[in-house]
Each structure stands twice: as structure tokens, then as C-alpha cells.
């Protein structure tokens, strides 16, 4: 449960805002303070607070505590009142709003009633203020009136019954822990190590970095280890993943736990876009019928009670019931998540400050009750780097500029940014490289995020590009508040487009800020070697509470035979002349050992050259495409799983990791070269950052990411103890450092193909 609860004394200790958010959904999702950015809200709130304090002789930010009891549940509720008159007679609560409401919102009334009751004030007032016009509207509130007494008493009654029911449910869950067993009939080698390590981290509030090879069964083992301490300590478990396939695996695993009689309430969150039942391009509450009367419709429809009858709540369940109740499925899922024990969602809901789950992570008290399980943790730093590397595209600007014809206010807003972009949008691109670092003397236009929101963000007719531009400006504003040596301003050519970007070379601090507030964190993946590299990337190890654990390969060593073909030169300048030889290698493998073979390449361009050249040969193949819709991906996976194909794909891409393939006749795979990231200005800036912090820049910016892509791709091969396959590494660089020393132990002995066969059994670390 989200709120802190002492089961020994039956006491809830919570901030008033958390309690209200738990049991009172907002009356409407339409305009209000949510449409105003946080910084603007705080600035206007403070201005009005000071003004009223001077006018009415008030003290401000008054600590308040209310101790009460209902239905056997004790409450210790805390908060800070905005204003209290010197005589203690009147409490005033200030809120920003635009437009002004016709009456106070229910959740605002509950706040001011709490302050009045806690501070013994006979009178109260709700004051709404507009951050643009500075106009305000005041609503008097009578805490002793029957309507207000009924509202407060009804709220306390609802919260107490909710806590009481949750208490009963958790008593049953605790009892069921005695019979909780592993969700599968047998436990694989390595899984018991994972279970014990994750359980220890959760019990002791530690950080755990866990590496286990593909095929170990990490998801089941991590959940089996994480669940007991979460239930015992009444925590909330977050399973963070970027892949829908992993959400599917989690759902299948939790179904097994549920079938055992262990009813850990689980919800799977989908994105806002995938949750919308309306056929509209952009989410706009002002036009959406599912946004109006949100709170009343939830109460009238009893939708929460219906959905929580299921232990596992899936997006399809939420969509179906939301349409019946005519409420927004996405916002309903977020509200419902507060009543769940396990929440499966994307990384962004924790690590993106623009869309993170504020109910859980805005308040330190609630964040400290959260346990994070980070799936494919090796991918998280790059995701967070993207969040903190906002970019503005010329195409977005020009489309918005055309739309702004005749609108002087919008043109004035756009003009300085358009001028900056045009300075680097010459055609043809005048620079030798596709990316350039902008001079330090380049001054970015000032950013008034409220002005952007007011002029452009609320424009219901603006094109999609305008929304993307507005979001990018917010990203630039966010970076401007944290600007330091980690950020570099660059211009980049992207096809026919030009863009300006703040590029973040080190996102580890932003990751650490979020997970350091949580109860415990476990990052797990098949590729986390070397551990010290990924611990630093993930902002772990700032204290002594980090444990790094590497689980060995769970299958017989003879199941995987690894070859290194040194007769292929995979360096960039030799790739064209190696094409024919690679095709011959692929043909030979298919002829000698019929069945499915996969071949992974470090880039689309090289893979496409191989596919094009194969058209003049007898080699039949299927290849990954650069742009694939969800339907394209599904059909491609079905084709792969049908068997008897040669599959070309990109190492580090969609089909090299994250998708669960079940190929019936997989014989082996080729991996061309160590799959180093392409040389670019951004990679060079990363290299510089590592060098500046005392680390080997090439190793950390190129070699480690490259060899990890190779390991991820090779993970497609062996998924159970019966499978046997060959892994052929193309290129002599695999037997030279730094690559050789970072190959997994279970790949040895290597069989090296030269003029004669050589076996490499050992290596120096």
C-alpha cells in the first residue's frame, strides 16, 4: 500500500495530499492547475501567498497534524497550511488555476478542511490565482457547516475502510508466504542464486546489480526473490521494462503465482497513446468526453471494485471497463495503481521527470516505500541519456512557422529559435561531418515555458509538429536548470532535416537521484560486465550498500561451440570487399547444417549491402527493416519462428534482444565484428567524458558497448539445456584485447579458424 501503515498499532502516518490522492480521484481531467507547469505554479503560489500574508496579517507554511480514529484505524495526518491568520481563526489555502473554477475542487476542499480541523480554525477560505492575469477568486469555506462536515467525515470513513480492507488483504498475503513456492515445477541452475540475492537486497534495503545469461529465467527468479520482503514490509514493487514482451512474460509468471493461491495484486500499465479509446492524434482533455466528470463517474460505476476483483489487472481489462464507465483508461490505470502491490511499467514512469508517476515519486515518504526491479538494466543509461538530451528539429519549426502566419504572438515566440536553426540549416550542409559542436559563445533564446504553454501548448488546432516542438522546448528548459560540463550543444544533420541538441554525456546522476530515494533497487540483465562500468553508469555504489552478482551459464558447456573466423576483416574500410566472402560463409553453413541461421551486423548499412549482394547468389534470406510497425514486427517474428530461414538483423537492435524467439530448428548464428558504436561527435564526446573522469575513453565508450551487443545477439542461441548451436564470430579482433578479455567465460575454449585450427582455452584478465 502506498501510505505508511504501522500494523502493530494500526496507525496510518501520511501527508494529507497522499491520502486524498488515494481515495479521491480528481473531479475532472480538464483545465486547472495541472495545465500549468510546476515552476510557474510555485512562483505564482508564492507570490499570492506573500501578498495575502501582508494584507491579512497571516503566518505562512504552518505545520499541521491531526490525530483521529475511525473503524479501528488510527490516523496521524500531516501537512503545511499555506496561511493562518494571527488570531488562529482562519486558514487559507492558495491554488493556481486557469481558467478560474466555478467552485472549489473536492480535493482542494478536503485539504483546507484538514488544516482547519488540525489547527482549530473556525473559518477557512480557498483562493485561486491566475499566473498570467494575477487575478484571484476567493471561496469562503465553513468547516462547521453540515455539508463540509459530511464531506470530511465521509472522506475519513472511506480512507479508514480502505486501509482496513487492505490490512486484511495483507494479513492473508503474509500468511500465504508460508506456502509460496517457485512458479515453475523445477528450478534451473542459477535461479536459486538469483532468488537469494534479490531477497537479501529487498530485505536489507540494498542495491543489487545482477548479471545472468539469457535463458537463465531471470524474470521468474527475480520476482520470486523480490516478493517476500515486499509483502513482509508492505512495500510497492515496480517492474520496469522497455519491452512489451517482458510485460507479457511477467504476466505469465504472475499468473503462475496467482494459480498457487498467492494473490499479489498486479497491474500492467500501458502508454497513454496505447490506452486511448478515442481516434485522435494528440491527447487533449479539453476535447475528450472521457475527461469530464472523471471522479464522479468512477464512484458511480464502481469501476475500482470491479477491476480489483482481478488479481492481475491487464490493459485490456482497464480499457473494457473504462469505456463502459466513460472515463479515461490511462488516468484510471494511474489512479488504480495506488491500490496494487506490483506495477509493471516503462522506465519513463520513474526516470522521466516530465511523466514520472507523481503519486509515488514526488513525495520522499512514498518513494521510500517503492522497490525497483530494472529489467535489461544495461539499456537504462541510454534511455535516460535520451530524456536529458532534448533536440529541436528544423522540420518541426518550419511546419509550426507556416501555421503561425497571421499570429504575431506565436511568430514572436518562434522567431529567435527559428533564426538559430536556420543558421545551421544551410543546404547543402556546409560541414564535413554530419555533427558539429556549437561554439561556447552561442546564446540560446530565453525560455519562458509558461509563455510557450499559453500560446502554443493549449492550441487545439496546432499541428502535431507544434506539440513536439513545445515538448522539446520544455526539455531545453529542464536542461538549463541543471547545466554543467556534462552537456554539449551540437547541431546535427539528419537526412533532410537539421536539429539542435543538448547532448548529455553522463546521465548517471539523474538515475541515482531517483533510485536513491527508493527502498531498494535491483538492476538485472544478461550483459552487465564489467560490473564496475555498469554500476557507475547506473549511479549505483555511492554507498557501501551495493552488491554485484554474476550468475554462471546454466547449461552444459558442450551445448555451445564458439568459433572465431579470423579470415574476415570487419573493419569499416574493408567491408565492401568482404561481402562476397561473408555470403560464401553463410551459404556454407546452411548447406552443411540445414535449419535456421541468424547473422548479426553492427549497422543497417552493412546488413543491407549483404542482403543486396545476396540477390545475385543462390542464398535466400529474410532481413530486418529500418522502419517496422508493430504489425511488421509481429509478422517478422512469426516468420522467424516458422523455421528454416537465414535471418539478417542488426546487433543491438530489436531482434538481437528483448524479443522471445522460439525457433524450432535454430542451428547457430554469425556475428560480424565487435559491433562498436559508429564513430560520431556524440561518441567522441562520451569518450572525452570518460577520459576526463580518469577512465579509458575508448574502452567505455566503444569496446564495452560493442562487445555487449555481441553477447546480447549470441543470447538468441541457447534457451534450454537441450539446445545445441554454433556461434561464429567473424573477425580477428575477437582474439585481441580489449575485446578478448571481455568475452563471457562460458564461450571458452574458443575455436579459432586460421590456416589451421587453433583452440584458445585460457585468457588473461
Q: 352 with 249, same domain?
A: yes
What dihedral angle (degrees, nearest 10) is formed by the CA atoms of 411, 415, 421, 423? 140
Residue 445 belongs to what domain range? 393-503
Report if residue 321 sits inside a domain. Answer: yes
* Across 266-285, average pLDDT: 84
Report if residue 368 sits inside a domain. Answer: yes
Give pTM, 2 decimals: 0.91
Q: What's the pLDDT score for residue 761?
A: 57
Q: 574 with 615, same domain?
A: yes
Domain count, the chain: 5
Q: 156 with 296, same domain?
A: no
Q: Is 70 exceeded by the pLDDT of residue 164?
A: yes
DSSP annotation string for 744-757? -GGGPSEEEESSSE
Q: How far apart are CA 196 and CA 258, in angstroms?
A: 21
CATH number for the domain harbouring residue 233: 3.40.50.300
Q: 191 with 296, same domain?
A: no
Q: What's the pLDDT score for residue 599?
A: 95
Task: Check if the beta carbon of residue 131 is closer than 8 Å to that of residue 43.
Answer: yes
Lowest mean pLDDT among 34-48, 196-210, 466-480, 717-731: 34-48
Q: What's the pLDDT score for residue 231?
A: 95
Packed helices 294-301 and 329-337: angle between N→C axes, nearest 10 degrees:
70
Q: 525 with 488, same domain?
A: no
Q: How far apart are CA 14 and CA 2, in angstroms?
A: 9
Residue 565, strand partner residues: 730, 753
Q: 101 with 153, same domain?
A: yes
Long-range contacts of 402-409 (CB under 8 A, 24+ apart): 403/462, 403/463, 403/466, 409/455
Report if residue 178 sits inside a domain. Answer: no
Report if residue 671 sits inside a domain. Answer: yes
Report if residue 765 sits inside a domain. Answer: no
CB atoms < 10 A from the CB of 86, how many? Answer: 10
Report if residue 270 sits inside a domain. Answer: no
Q: 655: burial class by Cβ within 10 Å (0-12, 13-18, 19+)?
A: buried
Smallest Cα–Cα separation from 188: which of 221, 211, 210? 221
Supply 286's cell numbers.
479539453
Q: What percent of the chain has pLDDT over 90?
A: 66
Q: 109 with 142, same domain?
A: yes
Q: What's the pLDDT score for residue 458?
A: 66
Q: How far apart are CA 723 and CA 624, in angstroms?
A: 24
Reported residue count of the chain is: 765
- Angle (CA) 128-129-135 rounded to 5° is 120
Smallest Cα–Cα separation from 637: which of 611, 663, 673? 663
3-state secondary structure of 673: coil
Q: 315 with 358, same domain?
A: no
CB atoms < 10 A from the CB of 150, how many? Answer: 10
Q: For residue range 176-211, what is the model confidence (pLDDT) as tens digits? A: 999 899 999 888 888 999 999 999 999 999 999 999
Q: How far apart are CA 713 and CA 715, in angstroms?
A: 5
Q: 145 with 191, same domain?
A: no
Report if residue 169 sits inside a domain. Answer: no
Q: 402 with 464, same domain?
A: yes
The pLDDT-based confidence of 324 (bands split at 50, 70, 90) is very high
Report if residue 173 sits inside a domain. Answer: no
Q: 130 with 229, same domain?
A: no
Q: 150 with 23, same domain?
A: yes
Amino acid at each position: 500500500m502506498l501510505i505508511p501503515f504501522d500494523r502493530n498499532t494500526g496507525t496510518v502516518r501520511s501527508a494529507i495530499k497522499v491520502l486524498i490522492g488515494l481515495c479521491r480521484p480528481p473531479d475532472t481531467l480538464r483545465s486547472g492547475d495541472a495545465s500549468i507547469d510546476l515552476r510557474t505554479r510555485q512562483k505564482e503560489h508564492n507570490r499570492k501567498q506573500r501578498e495575502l500574508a501582508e494584507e491579512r496579517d497571516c503566518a505562512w507554511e504552518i505545520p499541521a497534524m491531526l490525530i483521529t480514529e475511525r473503524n479501528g484505524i488510527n490516523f496521524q495526518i500531516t501537512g503545511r497550511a499555506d496561511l493562518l491568520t494571527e488570531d488562529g481563526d482562519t486558514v487559507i489555502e492558495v491554488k493556481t488555476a486557469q481558467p478560474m473554477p466555478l467552485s472549489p475542487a473536492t480535493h482542494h476542499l478536503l485539504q483546507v478542511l484538514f488544516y482547519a480541523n488540525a489547527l482549530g480554525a473556525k473559518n477557512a477560505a480557498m483562493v485561486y490565482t491566475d499566473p498570467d492575469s494575477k487575478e484571484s477568486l476567493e471561496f469562503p469555506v465553513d468547516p462547521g457547516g453540515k455539508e463540509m462536515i459530511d464531506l470530511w467525515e465521509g472522506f475519513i470513513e472511506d480512507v479508514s475502510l480502505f486501509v482496513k480492507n487492505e490490512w486484511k488483504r495483507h494479513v492473508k498475503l503474509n500468511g500465504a508466504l508460508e506456502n509460496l513456492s517457485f512458479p515453475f515445477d523445477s528450478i534451473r541452475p542459477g535461479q536459486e542464486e538469483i532468488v537469494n540475492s534479490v531477497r537479501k537486497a529487498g530485505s536489507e534495503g540494498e542495491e543489487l546489480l545482477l548479471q545472468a545469461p539469457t535463458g537463465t529465467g531471470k524474470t521468474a527468479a527475480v520476482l520470486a526473490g523480490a516478493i517476500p520482503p515486499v509483502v513482509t514490509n508492505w512495500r510497492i514493487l515496480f517492474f520496469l521494462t522497455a519491452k512489451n514482451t517482458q510485460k507479457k512474460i511477467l504476466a505469465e509468471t504472475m499468473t503462475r503465482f496467482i494459480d498457487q493461491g498467492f494473490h499479489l495484486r498486479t497491474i500492467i500499465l500501458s502508454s497513454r497513446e496505447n490506452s486511448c479509446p478515442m481516434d485522435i492524434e494528440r491527447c487533449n482533455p479539453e476535447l475528450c468526453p472521457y475527461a469530464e466528470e472523471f471522479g464522479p463517474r468512477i464512484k458511480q460505476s464502481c469501476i475500482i471494485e470491479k477491476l480489483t476483483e482481478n488479481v492481475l489487472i491487464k490493459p485490456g481489462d482497464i480499457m473494457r471497463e473504462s469505456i463502459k464507465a466513460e472515463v479515461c483508461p490511462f488516468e484510471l490505470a494511474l489512479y488504480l495503481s495506488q491500490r496494487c502491490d506490483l506495477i509493471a511499467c516503462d522506465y519513463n514512469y520513474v526516470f522521466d521527470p516530465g511523466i514520472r508517476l507523481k503519486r509515488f515519486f514526488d513525495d520522499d515518504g512514498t518513494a521510500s516505500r517503492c522497490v525497483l526491479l530494472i529489467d535489461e538494466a544495461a539499456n537504462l543509461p541510454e534511455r535516460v541519456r535520451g530524456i536529458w538530451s532534448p533536440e529541436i528539429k528544423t522540420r518541426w519549426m518550419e511546419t509550426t512557422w507556416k501555421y503561425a502566419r497571421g499570429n504575431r504572438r506565436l511568430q514572436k515566440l518562434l522567431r529567435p529559435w527559428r533564426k538559430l536553426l536556420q543558421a545551421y540549416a544551410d543546404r547543402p550542409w556546409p560541414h564535413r561531418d554530419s555533427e558539429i559542436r556549437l561554439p561556447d559563445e552561442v546564446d540560446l533564446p530565453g525560455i519562458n515555458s509558461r509563455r510557450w504553454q499559453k500560446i502554443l501548448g493549449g492550441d487545439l488546432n496546432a499541428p502535431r509538429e507544434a506539440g513536439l516542438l513545445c515538448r522539446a522546448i520544455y526539455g531545453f528548459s529542464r536542461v538549463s536548470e541543471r547545466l554543467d560540463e556534462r552537456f554539449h550543444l551540437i547541431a546535427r544533420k539528419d537526412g533532410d532535416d537539421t536539429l539542435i541538441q543538448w547532448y548529455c554525456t553522463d546521465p548517471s546522476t539523474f538515475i541515482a537521484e531517483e533510485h536513491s530515494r527508493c527502498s531498494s533497487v535491483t538492476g538485472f540483465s544478461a550483459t552487465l560486465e564489467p560490473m564496475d562500468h555498469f554500476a557507475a553508469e547506473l549511479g549505483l555504489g555511492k554507498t557501501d550498500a551495493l552488491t554485484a552478482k554474476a550468475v554462471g551459464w546454466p547449461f552444459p558447456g558442450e551445448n555451445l561451440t564458439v568459433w572465431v573466423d579470423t579470415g574476415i576483416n570487419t573493419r569499416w574500410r574493408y567491408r565492401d570487399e568482404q561481402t562476397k566472402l561473408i555470403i560464401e560463409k553463410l551459404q556454407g553453413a546452411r548447406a552443411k547444417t540445414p535449419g535456421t541461421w541468424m547473422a548479426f551486423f553492427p549497422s543497417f548499412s552493412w546488413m543491407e549491402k549483404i542482403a543486396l549482394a545476396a540477390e545475385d547468389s543462390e542464398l535466400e534470406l529474410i532481413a530486418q527493416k529500418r522502419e517496422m510497425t508493430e504489425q511488421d514486427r509481429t509478422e517478422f517474428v512469426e516468420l522467424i519462428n516458422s523455421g528454416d530461414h537465414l535471418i539478417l538483423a542488426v546487433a543491438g537492435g530489436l531482434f538481437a534482444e528483448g524479443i522471445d524467439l522460439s525457433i524450432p530448428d535454430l542451428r547457430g548464428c554469425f556475428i560480424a565484428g565487435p559491433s562498436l558504436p559508429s564513430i560520431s561527435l556524440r561518441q567522441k564526446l562520451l569518450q572525452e567524458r570518460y577520459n576526463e573522469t580518469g577512465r579509458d575513453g575508448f574502452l567505455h565508450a566503444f569496446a564495452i558497448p560493442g562487445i555487449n551487443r555481441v553477447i546480447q545477439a549470441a543470447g538468441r542461441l541457447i534457451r534450454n539445456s537441450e539446445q545445441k548451436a554454433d556461434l561464429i564470430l567473424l573477425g580477428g579482433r575477437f582474439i585481441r584485447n580489449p575485446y578478448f578479455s571481455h568475452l563471457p567465460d562460458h564461450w571458452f575454449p574458443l575455436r579459432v579458424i586460421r590456416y589451421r585450427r587453433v583452440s584458445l582455452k585460457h585468457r588473461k584478465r
